[in-house]
Amino acid sequence: MRIKKIFSPIILFLSLSLFFFTFYKSEFYWDGRRRDYYFFYYLLSLILIFFSIITFFINQKIKEYLIISCISLVISLYLFEGYLNIPNQFPNDKLYEKLSGNKWDKRSKLEVYKDLKKENVEITVTTSPYYFLNRKYDEKSDILTLAGVSNTKTIYCNENGYYSIYQSDRYGFNNPDTEWDKKKIEYLLIGDSFVHGACVNRPNDISSVLRTKYNKSTLNLGYGGNDSLIQYATLREYLNSNVKKVIWVFFEGNDLDEKTMMYFKNKILNQYVQNLSFSQNLKYKQSEIDIFLKKEVDLI
């Protein structure tokens, strides 16, 4: 049986590949700063290397059982993963329809956008900054947008049976525009989709609750998809001196992960770290930002 001859070398090769890939990610990509995270992968790869060496010396019959077991395990894991990923896009549609009396909106965001455009509604969709990170920038003239189109109804997302749609403020964030005119801002919220307001309408987002329930003036600078570096850049551009407290809503799942290294490679974002006086002066370029983002949305 040919597979028995190549089984041990293949397992050893894969185990060594996992070990060296882990070493590269831990010591070079992350420069040793995330060894705790990669400890499990070091341990797993070493166990696999040890196991693969043993397979060179075991009885052929036992090796045959191992091959069958490994193949069965791999197939079972892939089948289970496939089962978990079977599309179930609208799991609560019946419950939603029963409680609200409305049909679950099964349109895509693009379909909603096109339907509202037909009704001559001034509408746009959320345009997260990370969409534009890989553009080639002319540092002297180009800008990296950190929010959306200003003073426009903006389609966000649908997780509850309806699309959340909000009127953006003068800088493209999810705030009543008058909030910027307050003499004192009690709270400024920075974060990603949780802060942005996914996928609820006012007054059910976090910043609206602070305004209505606790009567606290609140600015929301969150935007879906923003990692910690973009959030820092947003603060640098839009933080006013009349803000009393900044609340950073950090999500451990993806606010600081491997994608952050990609963000650091963006020449404009990197300048916020390298130069503490750097600014794109985005507050004074909103008309330019609006023109750019509207063109991008129309290209969808």
What's residue 89's pLDDT? 53
Looking at residue 258, what is its pLDDT? 58
Q: In what order do the strands lie in the sheet with 123-125?
A: 123-125, 153-155, 165-167
Per-residue pLDDT tens digits for 43-88: 988 988 888 888 888 888 887 887 788 778 878 877 877 776 665 5
What is the pLDDT at residue 260? 63
The reported pLDDT for the residue numbered 99 is 78
Every domain of the chain and the residues it spans:
2-84, 122-298
Q: What is the pLDDT of residue 149?
A: 95
**In this structure, are residues 188 and 243 in contact, taking their beta carbons and an 8 Å threshold?**
yes
> Which whole-number Å values give the CA distances from 169 to 116, 174, 178, 251, in the listed order?
20, 6, 8, 25
| Residue 211 CA, distance from chain mean position | 26
Quick one: pLDDT at residue 83? Answer: 73
Asked whether the beta carbons of 155 and 123 are under 8 A apart, the reply is: yes
Q: What is the pLDDT of residue 202?
A: 94
CB under 8 Å to 190, separation ≥6 — which residues?
A: 221, 222, 231, 234, 235, 246, 247, 248, 249
Closest CA to 266 of 159, 156, 143: 143
- For CA atoms 187, 188, 190, 194, give the dihedral sign: positive
Residues of the chain with pLDDT under 50: none
d(CA 219, CA 211): 9
Q: Compute the distance between CA of residue 271 and CA of residue 116 in angstroms, rounded to an integer.
A: 39
DSSP, residue by residue, the chain:
-HHHHHHHHHHHHHHHHHHHHHHIIIIIISTTTTHHHHHHHHHHHHHHHHHHHHTTTS-HHHHHHHHHHHHHHHHHHHHHHHHHTS--S-TTHHHHHHHHSS------HHHHHHHHHHTT--EEE---GGGGTTS---TTT-----S--SSSEEE---SSSS--EEE--TTSSSS-GGGGG-S-EEEEEE-SHHHHTTT--TTSSHHHHHHHTS---EEE---TT--HHHHHHHHHHH--TTEEEEEE---TTTSSSTHHHHHHTSHHHHHHHH-TT----GGG-HHHHHHHHHHHHHT-
pLDDT value of residue 32 = 74
pLDDT at position 64 is: 80
- What pLDDT score was predicted for residue 55? 84
